[in-house]
Amino acid sequence: MFVTSLRLHARQALLLGHCFTLGAFLMGLLLVGSVAQAESAEWQTLKQGNVIVKQYTAPNTVPSVEAKILIAKSPETVWTVVSDQKTLLSQERKVKRLQVLSKTGNKQTVAFTVLMTHLLPSFNYILSQELSPPHSLTFHRVSGSFRDIQGSWRLTPADNGTKTILSYNLKLDPGPLVPHAMILAAVKSDLPSFMRNAKASINKNTP
């Protein structure tokens, strides 16, 4: 009787274990399906020629914004223009001046004069940029306007490497003297045209 009871409990435990395993497996499938669906939706949006703009806000941090656009060229081809900031931003009207001050190895220092919004004067600042071909160009503020500037250009291969998802990420802390909400709103509003202008420069200056 005791042995039979132990066997019964063992079978119940084994069945319960199978149920938990099956449940975890099904939950995993649902999560993978959700991620694939989200990626598919973003991919479809990019393939339609649209710019995706997102804002990321964590507690006690400066909000950052990200924009993505699809370019029908390989990352290696796109990189030839992304690494040349003067060419990349040549069609961006709000960039009033761009000058490479120095370049050593994979690092360069670039001076900018940018008009964020007509309600505020132009801003002058210097960025230190680090190039990691053909994947990314990261930058941070060295001096000039704003308290802090951080960001990057990132190139992600798509469609078997024949296309590139070009991403631009920016975290901008204007400091206490400049209305933060106004700057953030201006940046987000301009990002779609900013990315399309960058795409136009890449298409114009590559085969």
Residue 67: give the domain boundaries.
Answer: 49-204
Angle (CA) 154-156-30 rounded to 5° is 120
Please tell me whether residues 100 and 5 are part of one structural domain. no
Q: Could you tell me which residue, 177 or 192, shows the higher pLDDT?
A: 192
Phi/psi at 78 (5° precision): -60, -35
Rounded CA separation 44/144 (Å)? 40
Q: 146, 173 in Cβ contact below 8 A?
A: yes
Is the per-residue pLDDT at 20 higher than 70? Answer: no
Please report, as a single letter, which amino acid is at residue 79. Answer: W
| Model confidence pLDDT, tens digit, residues 27-74 | 454 444 444 445 689 999 999 999 999 998 877 778 899 999 999 999
Same domain, 39 and 54: no
Beta-carbon neighbour count of residue 95 at 10 Å?
A: 18
Average pLDDT, the chain: 85
CATH code for the domain of 168: 3.30.530.20
First-to-final CA distance of the chain: 83
